[in-house]
Chains A and B, each alone.
Chain A
Amino acid sequence: MRKTLVAGIAAGALIALAGALPAHAADGDAQLSVFHAVPGVTVDVYVNDKLTIDDFTPGSMAGPLDLAAGKYTVAITKSDATDASAPIIGPIDLTLEAGKDYTAVANLGADGKPTANLFTNDISVLPAGQGRLTVRHVAAAPAVDVLAGGSPVITGLTNPNEKVLNLPAGVVSASVAATGTTDPVIGPADVNVADGVNTIVYAWGSLTDKTLALAIQTIPGLNSDPGSIPAGSAGLVATNKPFDSAGLWVGASVIALLSAAALTVFAVRRRAQARR
């Protein structure tokens, strides 16, 4: 019985994988990802007292989970815990709204103590040709600047805050430096701010323990597309062109059209030359 169910579900999953499910499923649900950004400790995550993520290692991202809107209580325990009664972080209450996308982060505070933060991910649709870069400071480190190609694009970012930028899609050479400086403490690293994707970069770890690192989460499917492809302007291969009459008659209208075309060519060439 159980096997049949599992097989059925597996088949369903395959269909879903093949069938291009939208990145953001049921409208009435919230999406929750969980990022483990506390160095050096493997944990278990309990949601509403139920073990949900077992043996969760630092630098891992779980989810996204499709959850009904509502309040969830999250407790993070050591990985050998038998229940949620002795959490090392939390319990904290997360209120999730329908249609929104969240990342809960277990991280070090600026003071180096483990804590948790809930971020709402910006999943608004981007104009065609743009990507979104979200930078989050969840490291035991003072305020930082984020440099793109060596110049600061975000300044004075502190734990546990974020900055969201919509940028022309492309690869950014990103590094993180103490605020007011340009000497990288993380990076530089090539970050692909891809079209229609929210690329979320986390600075996590600890400055004093030399465990600072970048982490990446991506949320695709926020793209807009071109609205048309105007791919011809001369009518030379048109199915309704007046030249189709087998050359039996050359009417005055055709001559007029031809000379108009010739004049246009002349004008275009003149314009092209003028531009040079």
Chain B
Amino acid sequence: MRAATRRVGILVAALAVCGGMVGCSTTASVVKGATLFTAVATPKPQPTAAVQVPIRGTGLDQQVPIAVAPVRFRIESLGVDMTVAPVGLTSTGSMELPPDPANAGWYQYGSWPASAAGATVIAAHVDSLYYDIGPLAKLPQATAGTEIIVTTADGKDNRYVVQNEGMVTKPDVPWGQVFDRTGQPRLTIVTCGGEFDYTRRTYLDNVVVTALPEG
């Protein structure tokens, strides 16, 4: 019994490790205990492994898949229809955005709609003195249940339903969660809003909308 307990302990550890991985086997090795009964006639049976260690191939297909970029973003109920371009970082480490608020940016180093896990992050300026007010000025109206469609470069329409929408004071935005690459695949739309600091020329809040895949 003590041996069995230990074996289970190892198994739990192995499965816990497995939890962080994608596509690994969770078959419990205890099933193999059945061979103990059939092996009675054999003088010296081959042992069975104490733990089912996840095993995978090492071919090029084991790489992190190459992203299929979002190219268009729509909230039809609000009349929002924007192009989406892949963006990276500014020199100060913030997410880069297309200068024109009519265009959105997708954080190209994070998840994308076909990713197995994590948040696809799409953001746009809410306004600009040069270009005027952008479509995402309507983002605070994207309340729970609103449909969002993200078209990817392969022509696929990925449909999402808004779960929650909120304004968050900038220092309090949990950026680690916004850009999270683990957990359920989801869409996070970000722009600015709330009160404006006319001296620093910056909004005090971010508008953050989280949506989950439809169906």
Q: Which of A's residues lie within 8 Å of B, judged by CB?
A: 2, 5-6, 9-10, 12-14, 16-25, 31, 34-35, 50-54, 56, 59-66, 80-83, 128-129, 169, 171, 189-192, 194-197, 199, 202, 214-218, 220-221, 223, 225-241, 257, 261, 264-265, 268-269, 272
Contacts and interface: CB of A to CB of B under 8 A. Distances in A.
Nearest to B43: A82
B18 interface: yes
Contacts of A233: 125, 127-129, 201-202
B95 interface: yes
Interface stretch (B70-78, B143-151, B152-160, B191-199): B191-199
Contacts of A202: 58
A237 B204 CA distance: 12
27 contacts: A2-B4, A2-B33, A9-B15, A9-B28, A20-B117, A20-B180, A25-B16, A25-B19, A52-B50, A59-B59, A64-B21, A65-B53, A66-B16, A83-B47, A197-B64, A214-B60, A215-B59, A216-B60, A226-B95, A229-B178, A229-B190, A231-B126, A231-B203, A234-B128, A234-B132, A236-B127, A268-B130
B50 A228 contact: no
Given A231-B126, A261-B129, A238 B60 contact: no
A216 B59 contact: yes
Contacts of A24: 20
Nearest to B128: A234
Contacts of B56: 60-61
B129 A265 contact: yes
Nearest to B117: A20
A128 B89 CA distance: 8
Contacts of A21: 16, 19-20, 182
Given A51-B50, A199-B64, A226-B175, 5 more contacts: A6-B31, A21-B19, A24-B20, A234-B132, A236-B137
B26 A13 contact: yes
A222 to B, nearest CB: 11
B212 interface: no
Given A51-B47, A192-B65, A238 B28 contact: no
B190 A231 contact: yes
A13 B181 contact: no
Contacts of B194: 238-239
A164 to B, nearest CB: 17
A268 B129 CA distance: 8
A60 B55 contact: yes
Nearest to A35: B58
A151 to B, nearest CB: 21
A196 B117 CA distance: 14
The interface residues of chain A, by DSSP majority, are classed as mixed
Interface string B168-202: 00100101101111111000001111111010011
Contact of B58 (A56, A60, A80): A60
B109 A169 contact: yes
B49 A225 contact: no
B135 to A, nearest CB: 11
B54 A192 contact: no
A50 B50 contact: yes
B2 interface: no
Nearest to B133: A236
Contacts of A240: 195-196
Contact of B63 (A23, A128, A216): A216
B53 A52 contact: yes
A225 B191 contact: no
B94 interface: yes
A231 B104 CA distance: 10
A65 B14 contact: yes
A214 B58 CA distance: 8
Contacts of A81: 46
B57 interface: yes
A36 to B, nearest CB: 9
Nearest to B93: A227
B37 to A, nearest CB: 13
B68 interface: no
Nearest to A227: B93
Contact of B181 (A51, A196, A230, A238): A196
Contact of B179 (A18, A191, A225, A237): A225
B119 to A, nearest CB: 10
Contact of A13 (B8, B19, B49): B19
Nearest to A67: B13
A82 B20 contact: no
